[in-house]
Amino acid sequence: MFHKEGFKLIVGTLILVTAGVLLTDKFVNIAWLQSLIYLIFTFFLVIILQFFRNPKRHTKIGDSHVVAPVDGKVVVIEEVFEKEYFKDKRIQVSIFMSPLNVHVTRYGLSGKVNFSKYHPGKFLVAWHPKASEENERTTVVVENKVFGEVLYRQIAGALAKRIVNYAKKDMNVIQGTDAGFIKFGSRVDLFLPLDADINVVLNQKVKGAEDIIATKK
């Protein structure tokens, strides 16, 4: 199953690869060179297909926990001052996605979208300290009855050139469902209340919509 954001690119890649194979078959007469070109085209197609894959996830829905919004590795767990929306201290949990990870963004909790804003910006590497403030990004705040407001931020990386965000203000969203997509490597920051219990550790690999990031009573 593939994400809808990749349909055009997948079709375009299939056309390009098919044309390349046909041209190679017609104009390249050296067997080893033909095989090499076929291998390169196949590799390119596989990379595009795996990047836009959208595996089905089984989310345990509940207001007392926040699930991972994306697949990737936990690279930040720290108390910070969030200055765009809350303007106070929060626990930041950041998940870095390599180009090999699934890049679907999913809602970490159910609730009402109170804020959704796109910010144009730079394309620093996603782990750069200033990436969350200077890179292209979107900021979304979802409120539910246990956690209150939780902010997540999609951040473009050095390769990512487009962030897709489906969240709109006043929408009611369901935990684990499709919230958007980030193309070609990036990161997502979560900003949680200080009294949330964090269930992950640094360098832990998490699976979007399934692994629990934090709980709260």
pLDDT surpassing 60 at residue 160:
no
Give the global pTM: 0.86
- Alpha carbons within 13 angstroms on the beta-carbon side of residue 201 total 0
Round to whole Å and give the CA distance between 56 and 59: 10
Taking residues 138-157, what's their average pLDDT? 94
Q: Which CATH number describes the domain made up of 65-215?
A: 2.70.70.10
pLDDT surpassing 70 at residue 134:
no
Question: Percentage of residues in the chain with pLDDT exceeding 70?
Answer: 91
Q: Give the SS3 label for residue 45.
A: helix
pLDDT surpassing 90 at residue 84:
yes
Average pLDDT score, the chain? 90
Catalytic residues, by residue number, are 186
Predicted confidence at residue 62, as pLDDT, reads 97
Report residue 112 as tokens. Answer: 């009402």
Report which of 100, 104, 105, 1 is spatially closest to residue 51, judged by C-alpha positions: 100
> 4-18, 36-50, 88-102, 113-127: which has the minimum mean pLDDT?
113-127
Confidence category of residue 47, pLDDT binned at 50, 70, 90 = confident
Instruction: Give me the residue spans of the domains in the chain.
Output: 4-51, 65-215
- Cα dihedral sign, 104-105-107-112: negative
Predicted confidence at residue 92, as pLDDT, reads 97
* 173-214 pLDDT tens trace: 999 999 999 876 688 999 999 999 999 999 999 999 999 999
Round to whole Å and give the CA distance between 25 and 31: 10
Instruction: Classify each residue of 21-50 as buried b or exposed e, where b means 16 or more C-beta atoms within 10 Å of its C-beta.
Output: eeebeeeeeeeeeeeebbeebeeebeebee
